Structure 1
Amino acid sequence: MSKVLGPWQQLSCHQVYENPWLRLEHHEVKTPANTDGIYGKICFKNIAVGIVAIDDEGYTYLVKQYRYPLAQDSWEIPEGGCPLASNPLDAARRELLEETGLSAGQWFALQNLHTSNSVTDECAEVFIATGLSQGEQYLEETEDIQVARLPLTEAVAMALDGRITDAISVAALLKTHILLSQFNGVTKDFFASMPAVS
């Protein structure tokens, strides 16, 4: 059964592969130019959550972990997956604690984004966490993580010079930096302007 999707027409959709985290679909389509075509779509069963954790001294926390698909280490903000029917803030709290051992007293919604919208429907919700207290990490068996506490400005520099390439991290750090600069780096005024979530 065909379906109109904006200027595209989906003629058919077949599942090619599925695992607990994603599904790969093969679509036969009519393109906006009215030509026959194909489209591969990766459908995620989770949304991504990311956390820019900022302590009272203006430091943030990055994690370094080996990313199997890239075959290399990656510096990132704490991130993880949230099942579609679950609360992203609860997942963000869990991921921050698991990866860094940190708990946060205040949470702010920073942004929603699409991670790679030409091939996947995956979206991400990113939060800022403040009022931090240190506890113990609870890493999953697939995680071998190194945590770094560094000035937020240094993390932003890493996003700008290519040491951080993870899209969620780059977007989150740069947006945080731009928003903070509107308050001359005064975090108290910045957080007073942000929408708190609970």
Structure 2
Amino acid sequence: MWRVAAIGRVGGMTDGMPRIRPLGAYEPERPQKNTSWTVHRSRTAYDGSPWLRVDMVDVTAPNSDRFEHAAIWVPDAAVALIVDEQRQAVLMLRRERWVIGQDGYELLGGLVDDGEDPVDTARRELLEESGYVPHGPSEHLLTVHPMPGLIDSAMHVFLWRQGAEQVCEPSDPYEAGTVSWIPLERVDELADGGQLLGATTAVALYRYRALP
């Protein structure tokens, strides 16, 4: 790997004067220390399939220490980011999350069923949780792993830009909350107030705002 040297960096002496590397000069990066982990074997400590599995994994860390480390498996999830770009608003669900003892705003989505295309999951969960159907084509916005050091679960976010319409009442009794269109200009306010629940909701909204 190569990197651009900083402007004005001193690189030695020439005729008694510091030699400045010009913009565009390159230098090799220093070799990195070993950063690899070795996985030896694993055992299942708890099997709550299909929703959750906890494994204890025998690993060797980069510094050669060997120990057991917990690894949690959860099915992938898909999230629908529904934006009405004409109104500059996003469809969100205000709900309570009893695990953390807090209520706030989330995007709509849920776990991907076995063999299901994540974009179909996003549409299905949107309909079940809100009764809305999106307008126009979808775009894959991003895929993230919110806690990759502990949890194996990918979150796939799909974007619809042309809004949505409500065609029925929500049908999922476990996703009770208030569905509403939130002005995009309130995203910073909600983030500052700790009202954006879940890393995926926050990352998706700020990723969308950064799009050209």
Interval of TM-score (by shorter of Structure 1 and Structure 2): 0.7 to 0.9
Q: Which residue of 2 aligns with 1:87?
A: 117
Helix, strand or coil for the counterpart of 1:157? helix
Q: Which residue of 2 aligns with 1:11?
A: 40
Q: Which residue of 1 aligns with 2:198?
A: 166
| Superimposed CA distance per residue, residues 91-146 of structure 1 (whole angstroms, 9 cap, x where no aligned partner) | 00011111221111321111111121110111111011233222223332322121
Alignment partners' CA distance in 1, 2:91 and 2:194 = 17
Q: Specify which structure has the higher proportion of helix.
A: 1
Alignment partners' CA distance in 1, 2:63 and 2:169 = 52
Query: Structure 2 stretches of 5 or more lacking a match?
Result: 1-34
Alignment partners' CA distance in 2, 1:13 and 1:105 = 45
Alignment partners' CA distance in 1, 2:151 and 2:127 = 28
How many residues were matched structurally?
174
Per mean C-alpha deviation after superposition, the further-off stretch among 53-62 and 19-28 is 53-62
Q: Which residue of 2 aligns with 1:48?
A: 77
1:5-154 paired onto structure 2 within 5 Å: 7-19=36-48, 20-44=50-74, 46-55=75-84, 56-106=86-136, 107-131=138-162, 132-154=164-186
Query: Structure 1 stretches of 5 or more lacking a match?
Result: 1-5, 183-198
Q: Which residue of 2 aligns with 1:188?
A: none
| Superimposed CA distance per residue, residues 39-75 of structure 1 (whole angstroms, 9 cap, x where no aligned partner) | 100011x211111111242211110222232122231
Superposition RMSD in Å: 1.7
Alignment partners' CA distance in 1, 2:79 and 2:172 = 17
**Residues 156, 97 of structure 1: CA spacing in aligned structure 2 closer, same or farther, 3 A cutoff?**
farther
Alignment partners' CA distance in 1, 2:130 and 2:57 = 40
> Which TM-score applies when normalising by structure 2?
0.75
**Runs of 4+ with >6 A deviation:** none
What amino acid is the match of 2:154? C
Give, in angstroms, the shift of residue 156 of structure 1.
4.5
> Which TM-score applies when normalising by structure 1?
0.80
Alignment partners' CA distance in 2, 1:35 and 1:84 = 37
Helix, strand or coil for the counterpart of 1:54? strand
Alignment partners' CA distance in 2, 1:153 and 1:84 = 37
